Amino acid sequence: MLIRKDLKHVERNLILSFESSCDETSVAVIENGDHILSNIVATQIKSHQRFGGVVPEVASRHHIEQITSCIEDALSEAQVGYDDLNAVAVTYGPGLVGALLIGVTAAKTVAFAHHLPLVPVNHMAGHIYAARFVKPIEFPALALLVSGGHTELVYMPEPGKFEIIGETRDDAAGEAYDKIGRVLGINYPAGKEVDRLAHLGKDTFNFPRAMDQDDSFDFSFSGLKSAFLNTTHHADQLGETLSREDLAASFQQAVVDVLADKTVRALADYPVKQLILAGGVAANLGLRERLTTELEAFDNTELLLAPLKLCGDNAAMVGAAGYVFYNQQQFGDASLNADPSLEFDWMSTAE
């Protein structure tokens, strides 16, 4: 019996992974880092919509209510038990501290009770590794990480090493989408609907492309957001009705231009085998189309788009990243705590 179990463990590595950094409670079972046996995602979006954004206390409460049934569903859908697992992986930052704590506590409890190694995962590394479900990541790689809280260009010389070469100096791209979406009367999170409207309109407003021409790889979206708000406010005062489709198209074109231009310039300085697009905003069809076109000019760089269904927060991506850190034996212990402003630094020094 024991021998059979050991053999099974050699053949397949099973990681139970947790994600609770914001408004999705998610638990997954991932086989060998690249195969999803289950990926349960309990979204809380409806509870936050009436507030126009995520309310931290409400998020924590929902995570507590959902986490146990998410674990049960993830194991039963994967048709595995605790004894089949090799490790437990968990997002421990960045994110909302009260929300992160629920996932971290649940993961520590399972790891402790079942004598399993605990693998701490940076949420942003998780987003990058969503692309692992498309094909193996080849290094060096560059990731354009665009989410509700982050907009970063991340250089990865080898597995588990992350260097931020550019980031937003103010709003994240997703945050800007959500803010201008509100003015267009779209519920939080607005990105997907703004993207849909944008495809029906034209770039007639010529909004600013902040920092597009400067030498850094940093981004700024607050000027674009203000230009958008000023335009709509001014029209309101004059009693004019502007085309929502054209407003969305103009906003999206400005965002996509800056993201694509900076990424292409970064590729010139950092020749890589793959460019990975990941994070919630990576679901943006305009951005996916634009990068696909731009990458045609790069013979030696392949574009890896995170699967549409895995762009938003989910535990499968945490399991994929967790598998890499598991193999590098980057383990946590009972002292692991949530780190709301976790950065990539801790991993870039790890050997």
* Binding-site residue set for substrate: 145-149, 178, 191, 195, 284
Strands 118-122 and 302-305: unpaired
Q: Which of 33, 117, 160, 174 binds ligand KG4 (CB under 6 A)?
A: 174
233-272 b/e (C-beta count within 10 Å ≥ 16 → b): eeeeeeeeebebbbbbbbbbbbbbebbbbbbbbbbeebeb
135-154 b/e (C-beta count within 10 Å ≥ 16 → b): eebeeebbbbbbbbbbbbbb
CA 21 to each of CA 18, 109, 168, 330: distance values in angstroms, whole numbers, following the listed order: 9, 18, 20, 20
For residues 126 to 165, the per-residue mask of contacts with ligand KG4, x marking binding by CB under 6 A and - elsewhere, is ---------------------xxx----------------
Q: Which one, 156 or 173, has the nearer CB to ligand KG4?
A: 173
Residue ranges of the annotated binding site for Fe cation are 123, 127, 313
> Per CB under 6 A, which of residues 265..284 are in contact with ligand KG4?
279-281, 283-284
> Per CB under 5 A, which of residues 259..318 are in contact with Zn ion?
313
For residues 68 to 107, the per-residue mask of contacts with ligand KG4, x marking binding by CB under 6 A and - elsewhere, is ----------------------------------------
Does 24 participate in binding Zn ion (rule CB under 5 A)?
no
Shortest reach from residue 313's CB to Zn ion, in Å: 4
Does 147 participate in binding Zn ion (rule CB under 5 A)?
yes
Q: Which one, 86 or 253, has the nearer CB to ligand KG4?
A: 253
Shortest reach from residue 19's CB to Zn ion, in Å: 8
Residue 297, burial from CB neighbour count under 10 angstroms (0-12, 13-18, 19+): exposed
Beta bridge partners of 163: 155
Please choose which of Zn ion, ligand KG4, none residue 117 contacts, taking the beta carbon within 5 to 8 angstroms, the exact cut-off set by kind. Answer: none
Shortest reach from residue 306's CB to Zn ion, in Å: 11
Q: How many residues bind ligand KG4 (CB under 6 A)?
A: 19
Dihedral of CA atoms 124, 127, 133, 136 in degrees, nearest 10, equals -40
Element at 19 (helix H, strand E):
strand 14-19
Coil, helix or strand at residue 236: helix
Q: How many residues bind Zn ion (CB under 5 A)?
A: 2
Interface residue list for ligand KG4 (CB under 6 A): 22, 147-149, 174, 177-178, 189-192, 195, 279-281, 283-284, 312-313
